[in-house]
């Protein structure tokens, strides 16, 4: 489970013990129109309401964080967005198009990729092959052509490999291209998981605790990669993270959930001084 939930950081705007990062505004990014809209989502598991009437939007090129104590419903929210869970009420739209009844593959094809709180990599496979697996979504040749490496499939594989190699360079994981992922330290595995998601060339990237369990140096690296993805590829990012220093530093706007309800939404400064948010964290015995 997870890590740093610091109520002091919410209360004290000035000091941030997080990586020395430029604030998003300094990159000169242009935040665009709403790309992803979450409208009145309610999700129940039997009698348990994991999410109650949640609405928020995400603007193009934005880094939008979702925070909240353990069990608040953050992962459930991402699971609704990417089609793992079908909420009983509400709707989710990407560029105005509804996700209703879409499965995770269809949502991914529509341009939404994600990383997982508990890694979903093939541990016995190499870094290269794991990232290539993410790329499969974009491959046109059918599985038989791929298996037999017939003409068009072979040409396509070469082109796809080039894209994958670019991601490997971008994430600075060249030295481990051929290493089975299971042998890598945890921080690097998280980076490979990011690479697998990036290989889908998403317009929206959902990151579920990409820095959980990392040491300070690994967190700094991951922060830098997230900012670079956002900046260089223009990818819109929805980030779940418990490290308040990181969240307050890199987010454009933050949604706060507690017991499945939205209790705050706004710029980091606004959220940090919201009394409901402070008391949710101070009372976070869970
Ligand atoms: N598949 C499921 N079946 C039943 N209950 C579930 C399921 N998934 C989530 N829940 C419940 O929904 C609530 C929200 O869980 P969720 O995992 O979304 O929280 P979270 O905010 O991601 O927590 P954490 O910070 O610990 O990752 C919890 O009460 C959890 O037990
Ligand atoms: Mg979670």
Looking at the CA of 84, name the nearest ligand. 1
Does residue 76 have its Cβ closer than 6 Å to ligand 1?
yes
> CATH number for the domain including 56?
3.40.50.300
Residue having the nearest C-alpha atom to atom 25 of ligand 1? 70
Ligand 1 within 6 A of CB of 49: no
Domain coverage including residue 104: 34-111+246-286
Residue 73 placed within a domain? yes
* Residue 25 Cα to ligand 1 middle (Å): 33
Residue 84 lies in a domain: yes
- Report the chain's mean pLDDT, rounded to a whole number: 86
Provide the domain count of the chain: 1
Q: Which atom of ligand 1 is nearest to the CA of 73?
A: 18
- Does 262 contact ligand 1 (Cβ within 6 A)? no
Kindly state if the Cβ of 74 falls inside 6 Å of ligand 1.
Answer: yes
- What pLDDT, on the 0 to 100 scale, is given for residue 161? 85
- Pocket of ligand 1 contains residue 45 by CB under 6 Å: yes
pTM above 0.75, yes or no: yes
In a domain, 259, yes or no: yes
128, 166 contact by CB (below 8 A)? no
| Predicted confidence band of residue 12 (pLDDT cuts 50, 70, 90) | very low
Give tens-digit pLDDT for 231-250: 999 999 999 999 999 999 99
Does residue 184 form part of some domain?
no
Q: Is residue 202 part of a domain?
A: no
Each residue's pLDDT tens digit, 28-74? 568 899 999 999 999 999 989 999 999 999 999 999 999 999 999 99
What is the pLDDT, as a whole number, of residue 24? 44
Q: Quick one: pLDDT band at residue 146, thresholds 50, 70, 90?
A: low
In a domain, residue 208? The reply is: no
């Amino acid at each position: 489970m997870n890590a740093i939930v610091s109520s002091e950081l919410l209360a004290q705007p000035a000091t941030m013990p997080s990586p020395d990062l430029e604030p998003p505004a300094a990159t000169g990014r242009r935040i665009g129109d709403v790309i992803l809209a979450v409208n009145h989502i309610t999700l129940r598991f039997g009698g348990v309401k994991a999410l109650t009437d949640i609405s928020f939007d995400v603007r193009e090129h934005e880094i939008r964080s979702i925070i909240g104590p353990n069990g608040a419903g953050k992962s459930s929210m991402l699971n609704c967005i990417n089609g793992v869970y079908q909420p009983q009420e509400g709707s989710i739209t990407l560029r105005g198009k509804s996700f209703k009844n879409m499965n995770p593959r269809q949502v991914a094809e529509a341009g939404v990729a994600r990383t997982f709180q508990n890694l979903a990599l093939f541990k016995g496979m190499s870094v290269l092959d794991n990232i290539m697996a993410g790329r499969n979504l974009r491959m046109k040749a059918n599985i038989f052509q791929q298996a037999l490496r017939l003409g068009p499939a072979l040409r396509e594989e070469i082109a796809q490999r080039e894209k994958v190699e670019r991601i490997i360079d971008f994430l600075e994981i060249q030295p481990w291209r051929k290493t089975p992922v299971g042998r890598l330290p945890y921080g690097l595995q998280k980076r490979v998981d990011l690479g697998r998601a990036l290989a889908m060339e998403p317009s929206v990237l959902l990151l579920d605790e990409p820095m959980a369990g990392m040491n300070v140096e690994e967190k700094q690296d991951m922060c830098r990669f997230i900012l670079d993805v956002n900046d260089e590829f223009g990818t819109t990012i929805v980030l779940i993270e418990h490290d308040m220093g990181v969240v307050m530093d890199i987010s454009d706007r933050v949604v706060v959930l507690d017991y499945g309800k939205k209790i705050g939404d706004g710029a980091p400064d606004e959220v940090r001084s919201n009394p409901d948010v402070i008391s949710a964290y101070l009372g976070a015995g869970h």
